[in-house]
C-alpha cells in the first residue's frame, strides 16, 4: 500500500481527495497568553536548533491549532526530530543555556529554562509512531513565535494521537477534531499504511467520528471504511490465534498492567510484535505518576481540572 501522496483517496461520492497541507488559522495563537519571558525562551530554542542545522518539526498545541482552529495554552513546547539528531539538539540547547536531559531514552528528551520546558520527541512512548523521513517529507510550512518553521503533518498527528488512551489523558477528541478539519486533504492511503497491523485502532476512531459528527460521516472515504470493515469480517471468519497477547499496553501503559503482570498475557510492546525492551517499559511505567501529575497541572492551568 503506497505511503506517498501520489494516490488520492475518494469520498463517498467518488470525489478525489487531495493530499494534506491545508492549515487553519486559530482565533488566537497558542502563544497569545504566554509571558514575554516564556515566548523568548521558546523562540530562542527554535533559533538555536536552526543555527545548529538540526532538522525539526513543531507539533503539539501549535500544529493542532493551525489544523483545527482550537487554541490551547500549555506550559510545554513540542519539537519533533529524528532520534539520531537528538544528541546534537541537546548539545546545542545546552550551549545556549538550557538544562537538558534524556527523559525517556526510547522516545523523549527535554530542555528546561526556568519553569518552561521543551519536549524533544522522536517517537511515541509506546514505541509506535517513530519520527522518520516521511514526517519531514509531508510537513507543512508555518510560523511560530515569529520564526518560520515546519509543522508536523496531520496524518502523523492522527497516527500518534490515536494510541493515547490513558486514564489521565485521552486524545480521541483530538483525533476527531483533526479528522473534521483535514479529512478532505488527508492522504488516507499513507495514514492507513502508518497504522499497518494496528488498523483496528484507526477503524475505531473512524467509527467514533461518525458517532460524534453524524451529519458529516461522509467526510470519511467510504472506500476506506469498507476496506477496514471487510478486514474485520475476514478476521471474524478466521480462528483466533492461540497466543495470549495483550495489545492494550499500546493504548495505556498502566491500565493493562494486570494483564501482563498477573494474567499471563504477552506484552505487545515487546518483540516480536513491538520494538521496546523490558527496561524501556519499566522506565516508562515508572514515569507514569510524574507524567500524570504534569498532565493534571496543565489541565488545571488551562481551566479544565480533571474529575475527582
Write the DSSP assignment of 109-156 as a string of letters: EEEEETTEEEEEESS-TTS-S---HHHHHT-EEEEETTEEEEEPPHHH
pLDDT band, very low/low/confident/very high, at 300 (cuts 50, 70, 90): very low
For all residues of the chain together, what is the average pLDDT? 87
Nearest CA to 178 out of 152, 201, 214 is that of 152
Q: Is the pLDDT of residue 7 over 80?
A: no
Nearest CA to 281 out of 101, 104, 103, 118 is that of 104
pLDDT computed for residue 24 by the predictor: 61
Tens digits of residue pLDDT in 45-97: 999 999 999 999 999 999 999 999 998 877 789 999 999 999 999 999 999 99
Tens digits of residue pLDDT in 144-185: 999 999 999 999 999 999 999 999 899 999 999 999 999 999
Tens digits of residue pLDDT in 240-258: 888 899 999 999 999 999 9
**What is this structure's pTM?**
0.86
pLDDT band, very low/low/confident/very high, at 287 (cuts 50, 70, 90): confident
User: What whole-number distance in Å separates Cα of residue 162 and Cα of residue 174?
Assistant: 9
pLDDT computed for residue 306 by the predictor: 45
- Structural domains of the chain, with CATH: 30-239+285-301 (3.30.460.40)
Query: For residue 99, what is the DSSP state?
Result: E
**138-152: burial string, b at 16+ Cβ within 10 Å, e else:** bbbebebbebebbbb
pLDDT band, very low/low/confident/very high, at 2 (cuts 50, 70, 90): very low
Residue 104 CA to its chain's centroid (Å):
16
CB atoms within 10 A of CB 262: 8
Q: Is the pLDDT of residue 30 over 50?
A: yes
Among residues of the chain, what percentage have pLDDT more than 70?
84
Query: Do residues 213 and 180 touch, judged by C-beta distance below 8 A?
Result: yes
Amino acid at each position: 500500500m503506497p505511503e506517498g501522496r501520489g494516490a488520492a483517496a475518494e469520498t463517498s461520492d467518488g470525489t478525489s481527495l487531495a493530499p494534506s497541507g491545508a492549515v487553519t488559522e486559530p482565533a488566537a495563537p497558542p502563544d497569545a497568553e504566554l509571558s514575554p519571558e516564556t515566548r523568548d525562551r521558546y523562540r530562542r530554542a527554535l533559533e538555536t536548533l536552526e543555527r545548529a542545522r538540526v532538522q525539526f518539526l513543531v507539533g503539539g498545541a501549535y500544529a493542532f491549532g493551525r489544523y483545527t482552529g482550537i487554541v490551547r495554552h500549555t506550559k510545554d513546547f513540542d519539537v519533533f526530530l529524528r532520534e539520531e539528531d537528538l544528541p546534537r539538539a541537546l548539545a546545542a540547547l545546552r550551549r545556549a543555556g538550557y538544562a537538558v536531559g534524556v527523559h525517556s531514552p526510547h522516545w523523549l528528551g527535554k530542555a528546561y529554562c526556568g519553569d518552561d520546558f521543551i519536549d524533544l520527541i522522536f517517537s511515541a512512548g509506546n514505541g509506535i509512531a517513530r519520527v522518520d523521513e516521511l514526517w519531514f517529507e509531508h510537513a507543512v510550512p508555518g510560523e511560530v513565535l515569529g520564526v518560520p518553521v515546519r509543522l508536523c503533518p496531520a496524518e502523523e498527528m492522527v497516527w500518534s494521537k490515536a494510541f493515547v488512551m490513558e486514564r489521565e489523558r485521552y486524545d480521541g477528541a483530538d483525533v476527531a477534531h483533526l479528522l473534521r478539519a483535514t479529512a478532505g486533504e488527508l492522504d488516507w492511503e499513507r495514514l492507513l499504511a502508518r497504522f499497518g497491523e494496528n488498523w483496528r485502532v484507526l477503524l475505531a476512531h473512524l467509527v467514533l467520528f461518525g458517532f460524534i459528527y453524524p451529519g458529516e460521516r461522509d467526510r470519511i472515504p467510504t472506500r476506506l471504511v469498507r476496506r477496514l470493515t471487510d478486514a474485520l469480517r475476514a478476521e471474524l471468519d478466521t480462528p483466533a490465534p492461540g497466543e495470549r497477547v495483550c495489545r492494550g499496553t499500546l493504548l495505556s501503559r498502566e491500565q493493562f498492567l494486570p494483564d501482563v503482570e498477573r494474567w499471563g498475557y504477552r506484552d505487545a510492546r515487546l518483540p516480536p510484535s513491538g520494538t521496546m525492551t523490558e527496561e524501556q517499559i519499566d522506565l516508562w511505567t515508572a514515569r507514569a505518576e510524574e507524567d500524570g501529575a504534569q498532565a493534571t497541572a496543565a489541565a488545571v492551568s488551562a481551566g479544565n481540572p480533571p474529575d475527582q
